[in-house]
Amino acid sequence: MVLMMLTTPLSPRALPPPAATATPRHRLLAGLPPALLPLPDPRSRETSRGQPPAAPRRSATPPPRRAGPEEREGRRGAWPEGGALGHARGGARAWAGPGAAEGGSGSGRGSRPGRRKVRSSEVSWSPLHHLGTAHFLLPLCEQLAFNRHVVLCLCQPAAAMDIPVFILAGLLVHCVFLVSIFDIYFSSPLVHGMTPQQTPLPPPAKRLVLFVADGLRADSLYELDSNGTARAPYLRSILENNGSWGISHTRVPTESRPGHVALIAGFYEDVSAVAKGWKENPVEFDSVFNESKYTWSWGSPDILPMFAKGATGDHVYTFCYAAESEDFGAEDAAKLDMWVFDHVKSFFNSSRSNQTLFSALNEEKVVLFLHLLGIDTNGHAHRPNSREYQENIKQVDEGVKEIASLIDSFYGNDGKTAFILTSDHGMTDWGSHGAGHPSETLTPLIVWGAGVNYPQKVTTQFFEDNFLKEWKLENLKRLDVNQADIAPLMASLIGVPFPLNSVGTLPLEYLNTSALFKAESMFTNAVQVLEQFKVKMSQKKETTLSILFTPFKPLSASEQINYLKKIRLYIEQQKYDEAVSLCKTLINLALEGLSYYHTYDRLFLGLSIAVSFVGWTTYVILVIIKAHTNLTKTVPANKKKSTVLFYGFASAGMIITFFLLIQTCPWTYYIYCLLPVPVWYAVVKEIPVIQDLATNVLSLHIGQSAGFLLVCILGIEILVFSFFYRSALTVGLLVFAGWPVITQLWIQAKTKALIWTLLCVLLAIFPLMPVVGREPNIPLVIAAGLLTILISFFLLTSLCKSENKYRDNENLKVYFYQMFSVALSTYVVGSTHNSLKIKQGLPVMNQIISWMTLVFSPVLLLLSPTFLFERLFSILLSLMSTYLLLSTGYEALFPLALFGLMFVWINMEQEALQHYGLSLKPKLAVFNFTCTMDITQFRQLHLDDVRRSFFFVFFIVTAFFGTGNIASINSFDPASVYCFLTVFSPFMMGGLLLLKVAIPFVLVSCAFEAVQVTTQLSSKSLFLIVLVISDIMALHFFFLVKDYGSWLDIGTSISHYVLVMSLTIFMMVMNGLAQLLTTRRLGLPRRNKHHSM
């Protein structure tokens, strides 16, 4: 269905585009209600049977400004003003007719005379005027007899060849664009084939206990309670008396998996790994667990298995609870931590009667890993400032104390155990994580036991944040690390090789060992990082021509040897400090070199993708101009020229292929580098169109075209900006508010213009509000529900009063059901959140009602009449009842404001159409969605349609950023799905959140569907314009993709790009959905059938 929308673009001579028949809005006459069916004989004019006399036929009236072919020739070069509208009508019927197969052989050229005939026939081009009556179909039927052949001739070739090619090409090109950023910016940095590096000295500890308190914020652990006591007294005493402490800085995405990989494997997962899945191992990697002799781990089934899976041999053991235990709602999540502590205790108890286990536990290089998910779960459910979260920290503190003393006594206080407590990521005040806010990236690190430094008393510390004062820890040296530094720390404490892909630098200040050990460990660290650099360099060298290869100068082969020799010498001379600092220099250089080779091909790949982008966009613009406007006349293709062109481009392709071949490039490179060739070939082939266009444009007012271009660029820039600053939408909406004044529409329709301006201003407030989910405000949600019901009452009474003989009072029932459903949702939201507040969980009845509403509200909507306003109103009610259930704050008001604006928009577009003299005034109130024939698709584009498409894109973006942003969708805020479920289920929750995000889109799409059918805008040409807009935006975002700097920016930059790239496809899907919602109607069994609508 979606594919069909782009039917004509490649049709070379389609002027006007013929393939309306294939669009989804195509409705067979058979599907129309009997009262609206035309009479069988199209030529007989005595056809007033069954038609209300109120609407006189207009087919004899010459349309305003309709231009015949001659006139059009004469006006060529002027901007199209709808002059060519409505030729060749009747295509819909003809296409569906049985003659379809016969007419297929006709050629485009042969059809010309027939088309002229159609154009010059005196028919009304605006069926809108008659909608709601049967009259608009008559002219159509009149045309059928002699039009069928003609239309088929036009449609068939286009339908058979060009559509699939264009769509396939479009999909392919966009797939390449989309995938390319992962190859260009986010290929996996991991290399394989390094030699493991190990410090040749005996390690200080025999075993390591790693506690990871999932989702524990640094400040939550360190800060003192209001009465001045420590929240975690045991850990506080450790950092004051026994160990070292600091902050571990994590990177975005602050999620559990990347956090644990950084902690245990020592590298930061790249985005491609994250995209490939959280639970499985997308790439092979080495970890401290894998290097250990034995590792036992307890905790969540989401985390533990990935390290067991990655480990070679059978030495990493996991003990997990069932995934269902992670209930966010009723029960206390601290039980998850108690489960872990209890199992560790019984594990040690059981080892006393199990000789194999006992001796394994007494080996060296043993790791015990306790993953404590309770704090994270409580944080999501109750937010980090809650009593539950802080209580959980206390319980973890006690658990750690018990486990530490249990282990010490198990090993007879041999002083050979090292302990580390940290967390994988923090959490925002509103209970989410994933992004780069300091509350998410600052995690605690407390290390104590064998080989670890004691607290260092200091008088001054160099940290710019005020945390030390807040935490009353000014006098204890704070040692900050990057999260990946913890892996080498663990490895050197128990003396195992550093994980092969680790990029961490050993935090020496945590160690309480001999200076020799520190220097040797640092040296091991440097060699281990250098190994990765060497492997990476030799890989790049192999795949690059030797003349083109520019090595990373600071670390040439001789430089490497120099460094290593110097460090060795320093260690031998016992100049340990010099050795350590040289090691640090070497590590930094190697990391720099790693990223140098990693991004080696970036410029050249990026350029070739950008060239393709520009080519593709140019091509689509040419297609629009050629097929959907009368700006150019079709020029016959020069055959000789095109053969020359073809061979020219083919040889260019060959040269590129050869060049890539001798460099033994990866196969994806061929795609990126060869893509510009066919794309630009397609563009260059259209040179006559460009020349034609150029002469046309030059004959126009230069100022006018420049102004138009400027407005276009500004509009797109505002859209691009809105991705970074939601307030850009406010600016845009305020400009929209002035639209009636600028175009002087307000003279024509003062009230509508006023309402439009007011609603624009109202909607402009939303992007200024904070992102949804931070401050729950259930009373606002309830207010939104009540407001919806109030508006419904108002609208319904006005509906009842208004007279429309096609209305059926039976239909009013549907609205009452829908209003009841909204009322029910309002109640359920209030009662559920109350019940959760007093910790009684989600009432089953509420859950049932929520799911019932979710399932049945779309069905109710389909029962309502398909008259324009009635159906849109019904859509609003249905969507609102679902949206209310998913709301937690002010966002519940957003669909109402948005819908109001959309409602006025439909009216304003009608006024705009009139303003430009393009339409007889149709009665929107009696406009029926199902009665729209796609003959309207024959209208050609004019400039105002570009504006219309832009409004649509803008409103879609507003629907997206109006209440939140990408981060808030990615970050996990379970509060909004509490009416449906409280047990952790990522897919179900994700699905519901997506639904919540989609609802405003559906509203906009349905409104735009109404705009399309009432302004006779063709969805094909519309989507081509949207494609151009989104491609220009995508090119912006392609250059804005980042792989450096704050990790928040990186994640955001990718999602921007992906979002914009999928905009067109997304809008097509939305359009399809909107058509379904607006045109489908389920029959209700009813008693009296005299009204068949």
Nearest to 928 by CA among 307, 235, 214, 35: 35
CB 285 → Zn ion: shortest distance, Å?
19
CA–CA separation, 44 vs 1057, rounded Å?
A: 57
Q: For the beta carbon of residue 568, count every other beta carbon within 10 angstroms.
A: 12
CB 262 → Zn ion: shortest distance, Å?
12
Encoded tokens for 102: 């016969």
Q: Which is nearer to Zn ion, 424 or 944 (CB)?
A: 424
Q: Which is nearer to Zn ion, 992 or 1034 (CB)?
A: 992
CB 377 → Zn ion: shortest distance, Å?
7
CB 731 → Zn ion: shortest distance, Å?
36
Polymer length in residues for the chain: 1093
* Stretch in the footprint of Zn ion (CB under 5 A) among 65-73, 251-259, 386-394, 549-557: 251-259
CA–CA separation, 354 vs 362, rounded Å?
A: 12
In 336-492, where do the E strands start and end?
366-372, 417-422, 442-449, 481-482
CB 376 → Zn ion: shortest distance, Å?
4
Among 7, 156, 244, 256, indicate the residue that binds Zn ion (CB under 5 A): 256
* Stretch in the footprint of Zn ion (CB under 5 A) among 376-384, 777-785, 814-822, 900-908: 376-384
CA–CA separation, 938 vs 15, rounded Å?
A: 10
CA–CA separation, 934 vs 1012, rounded Å?
A: 11
Residues 6+ apart with CB under 8 A from 183: 605, 668, 672
Query: What is the SS3 assignment for 423?
Result: coil
Encoded tokens for 471: 């935490």
* Stretch in the footprint of Zn ion (CB under 5 A) among 249-257, 310-318, 445-453, 918-926: 249-257
* Stretch in the footprint of Zn ion (CB under 5 A) among 92-100, 422-430, 522-530, 1011-1019: 422-430
Q: Minimal CB distance to Zn ion: which residue? A: 256
* Stretch in the footprint of Zn ion (CB under 5 A) among 160-168, 419-427, 754-762, 974-982: 419-427
CB 210 → Zn ion: shortest distance, Å?
14
CB 507 → Zn ion: shortest distance, Å?
22
Q: Which is nearer to Zn ion, 937 or 971 (CB)?
A: 971
Of residues 608-647, those binding Zn ion (CB under 5 A): none
One DSSP character per residue, 190-240 reads: ----PPP---SS--S-SEEEEEEETT--HHHHHSBPTTS-BSSHHHHHIII
Nearest to 527 by CA among 196, 261, 289: 196
Q: Which is nearer to Zn ion, 336 or 491 (CB)?
A: 336
Q: Which is nearer to Zn ion, 206 or 257 (CB)?
A: 257
* Stretch in the footprint of Zn ion (CB under 5 A) among 421-429, 589-597, 793-801, 960-968: 421-429
CB 383 → Zn ion: shortest distance, Å?
12
Q: Are 304 and 336 in contact (CB under 8 A)?
A: no
CB 434 → Zn ion: shortest distance, Å?
8
Does residue 162 touch Zn ion according to CB under 5 A? Answer: no
* Stretch in the footprint of Zn ion (CB under 5 A) among 250-258, 275-283, 328-336, 607-615: 250-258
Size of the site for Zn ion (CB under 5 A): 5
Of residues 95-114, those binding Zn ion (CB under 5 A): none
CA–CA separation, 970 vs 963, rounded Å?
A: 14
CB 259 → Zn ion: shortest distance, Å?
6
Q: Which is nearer to Zn ion, 162 or 332 (CB)?
A: 332
Does residue 424 touch Zn ion according to CB under 5 A? Answer: yes
One DSSP character per residue, 1011-1073 reads: HHHHHT--HHHHHHHHHHHHHHHHHHHHHH--SSS-HHHHHHHHHHHHHHHTHHHHHHHHHHH
Query: What is the SS3 assignment for 372?
Result: strand
Residues 6+ apart with CB under 8 A from 46: none
Q: Which is nearer to Zn ion, 376 or 397 (CB)?
A: 376
Q: Which is nearer to Zn ion, 432 or 1071 (CB)?
A: 432
Does residue 513 touch Zn ion according to CB under 5 A? Answer: no
Burial annotation 336-359 (CB, 10 A radius, 16+ → b, else e): bbbbbbebbeebbeebeeeeebee
Does residue 269 touch Zn ion according to CB under 5 A? Answer: no
Q: Which is nearer to Zn ion, 214 or 520 (CB)?
A: 214
Task: Tokens 């040409």: give the residue.
Answer: 1021
CA distances from 72 to 69, 76, 695 (A): 5, 6, 17
Query: What is the SS3 assignment for 713?
Result: helix
Q: Which is nearer to Zn ion, 326 or 601 (CB)?
A: 326
Q: Which is nearer to Zn ion, 256 or 422 (CB)?
A: 256
47: exposed, middle or buried (Cβ count in 10 Å: 0-12, 13-18, 19+): buried
* Stretch in the footprint of Zn ion (CB under 5 A) among 181-189, 273-281, 373-381, 882-890: 373-381
Q: Are 348 and 366 in contact (CB under 8 A)?
A: no
Q: Which is nearer to Zn ion, 215 or 900 (CB)?
A: 215
CA–CA separation, 130 vs 58, rounded Å?
A: 8
Nearest to 580 by CA among 590, 567, 564, 593: 567
* Stretch in the footprint of Zn ion (CB under 5 A) among 85-93, 282-290, 418-426, 712-720: 418-426
* Stretch in the footprint of Zn ion (CB under 5 A) among 241-249, 353-361, 417-425, 743-751: 417-425
Does residue 376 touch Zn ion according to CB under 5 A? Answer: yes
Q: Which is nearer to Zn ion, 381 or 496 (CB)?
A: 381
Binding mask 215-244 toward Zn ion (x if CB under 5 A, else -) reads: x-----------------------------
Encoded tokens for 304: 């533990």
* Stretch in the footprint of Zn ion (CB under 5 A) among 374-382, 904-912, 928-936, 1049-1057: 374-382
Q: Which is nearer to Zn ion, 424 or 909 (CB)?
A: 424
CB 816 → Zn ion: shortest distance, Å?
43
Residues β-bridged to residue 208? 367, 418
Binding mask 319-358 toward Zn ion (x if CB under 5 A, else -) reads: ----------------------------------------
CB 433 → Zn ion: shortest distance, Å?
6
CB 303 → Zn ion: shortest distance, Å?
8
CA distances from 315 to 112, 205, 311, 786, 916 (A): 79, 19, 8, 61, 78
Would you tell me the crossing angle of helices 894-915 and 943-961 to the nearest 10 degrees? Answer: 180
Binding mask 188-217 toward Zn ion (x if CB under 5 A, else -) reads: --------------------------xx--
Query: What is the SS3 assignment for 775?
Result: coil
Q: Which is nearer to Zn ion, 441 or 910 (CB)?
A: 441
CB 987 → Zn ion: shortest distance, Å?
16
Q: Which is nearer to Zn ion, 8 or 256 (CB)?
A: 256
Dihedral over alpha carbons 381, 382, 388, 394 (to 10 degrees):
80
Query: What is the SS3 assignment for 368?
Result: strand
CB 268 → Zn ion: shortest distance, Å?
15
Q: Which is nearer to Zn ion, 389 or 766 (CB)?
A: 389
CB 920 → Zn ion: shortest distance, Å?
59
CB 969 → Zn ion: shortest distance, Å?
15
* Stretch in the footprint of Zn ion (CB under 5 A) among 114-122, 248-256, 338-346, 657-665: 248-256
Q: Which secondary-structure segment (H or E) carries 307? A: helix 304-310
Type of residue numbered 394: K
Q: Which is nearer to Zn ion, 215 or 488 (CB)?
A: 215
For Zn ion, the binding residues (CB under 5 A) are: 214-215, 256, 376, 424
